[in-house]
């Protein structure tokens, strides 16, 4: 399934292209909705509430993917929360232009509550939880009892919780989160992501006992010089 985006879009200067919000009738927005539907029907026996979106390496489009996926879930009437769980190079606060004084780490360390830390966005039904201050021990924090409690509380407040994580091959954090989520989505960049690295990323998700919901092939160039996103099953 292809998601079309013009190379020279007038929104190309945005740090993250929220095309699903800026141009909801575009072909790429329609395909993000198809992406959403595929996720919802990927498991008939389990209600997917917590989903991790990751990549094998940096700059492969996972943060753009998760932001647009969140928008289309919100458009469906679901209460959606994006959690910036990249506690090393967070970007969600840039995407949605909010401050990062308090956030995910503040909640995990009991410095504030989830409801006080979340920020409602201009997109209907969509809230974000920025990373908060970068901790010295991300992996340990994500493995803590507080993380388990956080997930349960987030599920009580929201219908869908999406975790934006660091790349799988860089640190252990995504594996820790993947083990605690209902499913994972892997984003790869066409022509850039090496096949061996993508396979290694898939293997790490399997080792974490994560359900791989599918793979997004990002920025696939076609002959007409437009760029596409493709979502497929594993």
Taking only the tens place, the pLDDT of each residue in 39-86 is 888 776 778 999 999 998 887 888 989 999 999 999 999 999 999 999
Show me where the domains of the chain are located: 2-39+48-232
Mean pLDDT for the chain overall: 85
Q: Which CATH architecture has domain 2-39+48-232?
A: 3-Layer(aba) Sandwich (3.40)
Scanning the structure block, which residue is given the tokens 């949605």? 96
Q: Is 6's pLDDT higher than 80?
A: no
Token reading at 167 = 């790349």
Q: What strands, in cross-sheet order, belong to the sheet with 126-129? A: 2-5, 227-232, 212-221, 183-189, 50-55, 160-164, 80-84, 126-129, 119-120
Instruction: Report how far residue 170's alpha carbon sits from residue 176's, in angstroms, rounded to the nearest whole number.
Output: 13
**Nearest C-alpha neighbor of 161 from the set 93, 69, 233:** 69
For the segment 23-29, the average pLDDT, to the nearest whole number, is: 86
Taking only the tens place, the pLDDT of each residue in 141-187 is 999 999 999 999 999 999 999 999 999 988 999 999 999 999 999 98
First to last CA, the chain: 14
Q: What are the φ and ψ backbone dihedral angles of 163, each rounded to 5 degrees?
A: -105, 120
Most confident of 8-12, 40-44, 82-86, 213-217: 82-86
Q: Is 208's pLDDT higher than 90?
A: yes
Taking only the tens place, the pLDDT of each residue in 97-137 is 999 999 999 999 999 999 999 999 999 999 999 999 999 99
To the nearest 10°, report the CA torsion of 58, 188, 82, 130.
0
């Amino acid at each position: 399934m292809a998601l079309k985006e013009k190379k020279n879009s007038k929104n190309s200067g945005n740090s993250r292209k929220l095309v699903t919000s800026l141009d909801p009738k575009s072909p790429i927005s329609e395909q993000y909705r198809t992406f959403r539907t595929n996720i919802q029907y990927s498991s008939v026996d389990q209600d997917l509430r917590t989903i991790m979106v990751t990549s094998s390496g940096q700059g492969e489009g996972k943060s753009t993917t998760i932001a647009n996926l969140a928008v289309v879930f919100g458009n469906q009437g679901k209460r959606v929360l994006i959690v910036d769980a990249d506690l090393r190079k967070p970007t969600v606060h840039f995407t949605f232009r909010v401050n990062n004084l308090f956030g995910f780490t503040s909640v995990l360390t009991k410095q504030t509550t989830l409801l006080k830390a979340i920020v409602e966005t201009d997109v209907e039904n969509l809230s974000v939880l920025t990373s908060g201050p970068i901790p010295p021990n991300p992996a340990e924090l994500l493995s803590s009892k507080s993380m388990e409690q956080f997930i349960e509380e987030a599920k009580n407040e929201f219908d869908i919780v999406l975790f934006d994580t660091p790349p799988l091959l860089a640190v252990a954090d995504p594996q820790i989160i993947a083990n605690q989520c209902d499913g994972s989505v892997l984003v790869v960049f066409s022509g850039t992501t090496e096949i061996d690295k993508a396979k290694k990323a898939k293997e790490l998700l399997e080792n974490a006992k994560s359900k791989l919901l599918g793979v997004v092939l990002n920025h696939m160039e076609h002959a007409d010089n437009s760029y596409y996103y493709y979502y497929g099953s594993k």
